[in-house]
Chain A
Amino acid sequence: MSVMQAKDITMQFGGLTAVDKFNLTLEPHELVGLIGPNGAGKTTIFNMLTGVYVPTIGTIEIEGQSIIGKKPNEIVKMGASRTFQNIRLFKDLTAIENVKIAYHNFIDYNLAQGMFRTKKFWSEEKKAQDECFKLLEIFDMGEYADTLAKNLPYGQQRKLEIARALATEPKVLMLDEPAAGMNPNETAELMKTIHFIREKFDITVLLIEHDMKLVMGICERIIVVDYGKTIAEGSPAEIKNNPDVIRAYLGD
Chain B
Amino acid sequence: MDQKKKKSYLINTAAIALLYLLFFVLIQTKTINNYFVGIMIMTCIMIIMALSLNIVAGFLGQMALGHAGFMAIGAYSSAMATKAIVDAGIEMPSILLLLVALLVGGLVAGIFGILIGTPTLRLRGDYLGIVTIGFAEIIRIFFINFGPTGGAAGLKGISKLVDFNNVFFITVIVAVLIFTFGRSKHGRAIISIREDEIASESAGVPTTIYKVLGFTMAAFFAGLGGALYAHYQAFLEPSKFAFMFSIEMFVIVVLGGLGSLTGSILSAIVLTVLPEMLREFSEYRLLIYSLLLIIMMIFRPQGMLGRSEFSLTDFIDKLIMRKNRKTTSDGGEK
Contacts and interface: CB of A to CB of B under 8 A. Distances in A.
B269 to A, nearest CB: 24
B201 interface: yes
Interface in B163-199: 177, 180-181, 184-189, 191-192, 195-196, 198-199
Contacts of A104: 185, 188-189, 203-205
Given A73-B207, A93-B195, A114 B201 contact: no
A100 B188 contact: yes
Interface in A114-129: 114-117, 121-122, 124-125, 128
Interface residues of A, number: 43
Contacts of B205: 73, 101, 104
A91 B195 contact: yes
Contact of B192 (A71, A76, A93, A117): A93
Contacts of B200: 90, 101
B206 interface: yes
B202 interface: yes
Nearest to A83: B202
Contact of A88 (B177, B187, B198, B307): B198
Contacts of A111: 181, 184, 186, 213
Interface string A161-172: 000110110000
Contact of A146 (B180, B185, B327): B327
A36 B136 CA distance: 53
B190 to A, nearest CB: 10
B96 interface: no
Contact of A115 (B180, B195, B196): B180
A235 interface: no
A73 B180 contact: no
Interface of B: 1, 177, 180-181, 184-189, 191-192, 195-196, 198-207, 213, 307, 327-328
Interface of A: 50, 52, 71-74, 76-77, 81-82, 84, 88-94, 97, 100-102, 104-105, 107, 109, 111, 114-117, 121-122, 124-125, 128, 146-148, 164-165, 167-168
